[in-house]
Structure 1
Amino acid sequence: MPEGDTVWQAARRLHTALAGRLLTRSDLRVPRFATADLTGRTVLDVTPRGKHLLTHIEGGLTLHSHLRMEGAWKVYAPGERWRGGPEHQIRAILGTAEHTAVGYRLPVLELLRTSDEERVVGHLGPDLLGPDWDAATALRNLLADPARPIGEALLDQRNLAGVGNIFKSETCFLVRATPWLAIGDLPSPERLVVAAKKLLEANRERPGGSRRIYVYGRAGRPCARCGTSIRVADQDDRPTYWCPRCQSGPGCQSGPAG
């Protein structure tokens, strides 16, 4: 599932291509909204909210999408070949005179009144890359269940929005705690929100493939800090990486080194 930095990048691409421009083509290929026609309306902005994308459209409408694991928005110039996938995977097309935005494999796509946005994003905690960021609120949310493992708490978008499985592992590495440590046992837990925000801000300008990674995906390779082999194990069915020497707290004993 895309992390907050990836969604932020997607929103910026869409905003640059569509914002302030009149829609000349509109095609929502989901049964519930297949008859909706947005042509003739102006796109006001495209805003990321955690892992959600909100495309605001003239007339008080919002096109809400979520990429999850496979979804993607691609932007094409006139005459450019569409390369995001086969035709049957297209779920949305928003076209202007200058660009066409095509949504592929979008598992969530819905058109709603902008006044009803809270129905789909109101449950989210403070957005690490958003104007609503509030470190104190995020910390209170995380500590509301002190027995909860840090990794699980970070992934819960109701606590803070934007951390995915990659930055869960990376944040835990930066604070030198394993993802299985109870969050209430972490000294100076405010370090978590500081580290998470630092990571997402540092990576939002980098393409996904060029992220600076300390432990994620590095099982069996030496830790950049101490040289110990990075380990991997599942946490809630998601691969989780950590350094058994640098990070204190319980680990998953079944986690292989590579």
Structure 2
Amino acid sequence: MPEGDTVWLTARRLHEALAGRVLTRSDLRVPRLATVDLTGRAVLDVTPRGKHLLTRVDGGLTLHSHLRMDGSWQVYAPDERWRGGPAHQIRAILGTEAHTAVGYRLPVLDLLRTADEATVVGHLGPDLLGPDWDLDEAVRRLCADPARPLGEALLDQRNAAGIGNVYKCELAFLARVSPWLPVGDLPQDVPARLLATAHRLLDVNKDRFERRTTPPGSRPDRPLYVYGRGGRPCYRCGARVRRHGAQDLPDDRITYWCPGCQAGPDPAPPGPPRGRDPVPAP
């Protein structure tokens, strides 16, 4: 699932391509929106909210989309070949005279009144890359359930909007604590430092798709400390980075950590199959 920095960059590219221009093409390929035609309306702005995208158009309407695991928006020039995937994966086309934005594999696509945006994003916590970022409020929300494992609390978008699985793993490593450590067991100053680090890292990475959590100037082949590095030596202590999660799980449900650097409990052994994941949907 794309992290908040990737969604922010996607929103910026959509905004630069569409905002201030009139739509000359509109094709929303989901059943409930099949008869909707936005042609002739000007795009006012494209705004990210956590991992959500809000495309506002004339007439008080907002096209709401969420990328989840596989979705993407691609922007093309008039004579450019579309490369985002086969035609049957296209869920939305928004075109102007200058550019065409194509949404591929979008699992969430809704049209609502702009005045009603809170119905789809009002539950989110402070946005790490938004004008509403409030560190104190994010810390309060993160610590509201002291028994909750840190990794789950970081992924819960109601606490702070924008952290995905990559940052969950990297932030726990940088804080030197296990992702399974209950939030209430963190040293008193860690929640604020951890969320401040999250804000800094997302801000640094928001202008590029190549994400890096290791220091500037470190080796180009070492962009991340633990994520995706299961079985390889930790850059800090040399211990083998561990991976928790079944092979067939999506990447956003696999955790990477270093047992040598990160204090706290290991993951609980797998239990019986569950119908739902305890982490709320973003």
TM-score normalised by length of structure 1 = 0.95
Q: Residue 71 of structure 1 corresponds to which residue in structure 2?
A: 71
Q: Residue 81 of structure 2 corresponds to which residue in structure 1?
A: 81
Aligned 8 A contact 2:67 2:106 in 1: yes
The superposition leaves residues 117-159 of structure 1 with CA deviations (integer Å, 9 ceiling, x where unpaired) of 0000000000001111000110000110001000000000001
Instruction: Give me the whole-angstrom Cα distance separating, in 1, the residues matched to 2:266 and 2:198.
Output: 21
Q: Is 1:247 aligned to 2:249, yes or no?
A: no
Instruction: Give me the whole-angstrom Cα distance separating, in 2, the residues matched to 1:250 and 1:210.
Output: 27
Q: Residue 227 of structure 1 corresponds to which residue in structure 2?
A: 238
Q: Is 1:197 aligned to 2:208, yes or no?
A: no
- Runs (4 or more) in structure 1 with deviation over 4 Å come to none
Where 2:15 maps in the other structure, the secondary structure is helix
Q: Residue 209 of structure 2 corresponds to which residue in structure 1?
A: 207
List aligned pairs for 1:8-87, cutoff 5 A. Answer: 8-87=8-87
Deviation at 1:239, TM superposition (A): 0.9
Instruction: Give me the whole-angstrom Cα distance separating, in 2, the residues matched to 1:158 and 1:205.
Output: 24
Aligned 8 A contact 1:222 1:229 in 2: yes
Query: How many aligned residue pairs are there?
Result: 254
Q: Residue 7 of structure 1 corresponds to which residue in structure 2?
A: 7
Instruction: Give me the whole-angstrom Cα distance separating, in 1, the residues matched to 2:184 and 2:269.
Output: 24
Instruction: Give me the whole-angstrom Cα distance separating, in 2, the residues matched to 1:209 and 1:183.
Output: 26
Instruction: Give me the whole-angstrom Cα distance separating, in 1, the residues matched to 2:212 and 2:176.
Output: 23
Instruction: Give me the whole-angstrom Cα distance separating, in 1, the residues matched to 2:98 and 2:40.
Output: 15
Where 1:5 maps in the other structure, the secondary structure is helix
Instruction: Give me the whole-angstrom Cα distance separating, in 2, the residues matched to 1:60 and 1:66.
Output: 20
Aligned 8 A contact 1:171 1:199 in 2: no
Q: Residue 180 of structure 1 corresponds to which residue in structure 2?
A: 180
Deviation at 1:221, TM superposition (A): 1.4
The superposition leaves residues 180-235 of structure 1 with CA deviations (integer Å, 9 ceiling, x where unpaired) of 00011111221221121122112112214666311100111121111211111139
The superposition leaves residues 4-42 of structure 1 with CA deviations (integer Å, 9 ceiling, x where unpaired) of 011011101101100111101011111111111111111
Q: Residue 121 of structure 2 corresponds to which residue in structure 1?
A: 121
Where 1:106 maps in the other structure, the secondary structure is coil
Instruction: Give me the whole-angstrom Cα distance separating, in 2, the residues matched to 1:120 and 1:209.
Output: 27
Instruction: Give me the whole-angstrom Cα distance separating, in 2, the residues matched to 1:12 and 1:29.
Output: 23
Cα distance 1:113–1:253, how it changes in 2: closer, same or farther (>3 A)? closer
Q: Counterpart amino acid of 2:225? A: Y
Where 1:101 maps in the other structure, the secondary structure is strand
Q: Counterpart amino acid of 2:3? A: E
Q: Counterpart amino acid of 1:190? A: A
Sequence identity percentage = 70
Aligned 8 A contact 2:22 2:40 in 1: yes
* Mean Cα deviation higher: 170-179 or 187-196: 187-196
Where 1:48 maps in the other structure, the secondary structure is strand
Where 1:177 maps in the other structure, the secondary structure is coil
Instruction: Give me the whole-angstrom Cα distance separating, in 1, the residues matched to 2:152 and 2:269.
Output: 18
TM-score normalised by length of structure 2 = 0.87
